[in-house]
Chain A
């Protein structure tokens, strides 16, 4: 099926960014299904993936309503190409090992928990309602991933080594969490989006507390990776979309 073109107002673009990050993060987590190191963790990761998928669905539904052209959440998820996806780059990096997944989920949850807490006060009533649901879910994600981070960092030599590697790889992708472009500025101005600058102190406090407990140090990044907000992605997103979108592209409108 042909790719759709979405005429993005700043408001629509902003909601799509949030939706894309939730969906891509969810997809990467779902890749653990049937492969996690133990049954209990298989369920835990699938649970988190489903929470994020639920958030993505609500956000796409909201985006479709803002666009007002009768499109569905599925159209937005399945019929856009990589450059149209505006997810944070950190969400699209390949699944990696368990330590990588845990570090990524900790970083994302440490950001999105205070983010959604603030977004409950959004002047966009739908976004505020989604934030109310997401905030509780992400509080648990943070608790779960954070507890693992502490145990992996403070665990065996092997688990510590892998956790340190994951942290070094992922840290340069955290700059994007706080990036504000013209769309972001307009949304903050309109009271629709929380200012990521007010999220940062909570994020840093959470990460520093967990790293201290895990006996790890916060990496020092000389530069930060950027591009997701402009649709400039790593080479990994195309492959992810090929798998995720294949069915709807090959069999348009397929249902089961």
Chain B
């Protein structure tokens, strides 16, 4: 059996209850269980995590950087979507 290169996994960590998992990096591992352990040892060394997700990097479908024009430029002219046109009553204080 020829040796296979170790697959790559993307690591997501949730730091506190209520927050979403955030992408923190990637690890090499032979399978999902080992990927979880590698993620634990690599990315939660300083008490960062409450929960870990690992996802095979190959399972991620990414947008094409060359298409950033049609994908993202049309929103530039829709400034009314930004919440910057509302006056916040003083009584509300900091939001």
Interface residues of A (CB under 8 A from B): 38-41, 43-44, 47, 143-144, 147-148, 151, 156-157
Contacts and interface: CB of A to CB of B under 8 A. Distances in A.
Contacts of A39: 28, 42
Interface in B25-73: 27-31, 33-34, 37-38, 41-42, 45
Contacts of B33: 147
Interface of B: 1, 3, 6, 27-31, 33-34, 37-38, 41-42, 45
B60 to A, nearest CB: 19
8 contacts: A40-B27, A40-B42, A41-B38, A43-B45, A44-B37, A44-B41, A143-B37, A156-B3
Contacts of A41: 38
B41 A147 contact: no
Given A143-B37, A147-B37, A156-B1, A47 B29 contact: no
Given A38-B6, A40-B29, A40-B42, A144 B1 contact: no
Contacts of B38: 40-41, 43-44
Contacts of B41: 40, 43-44, 47, 144
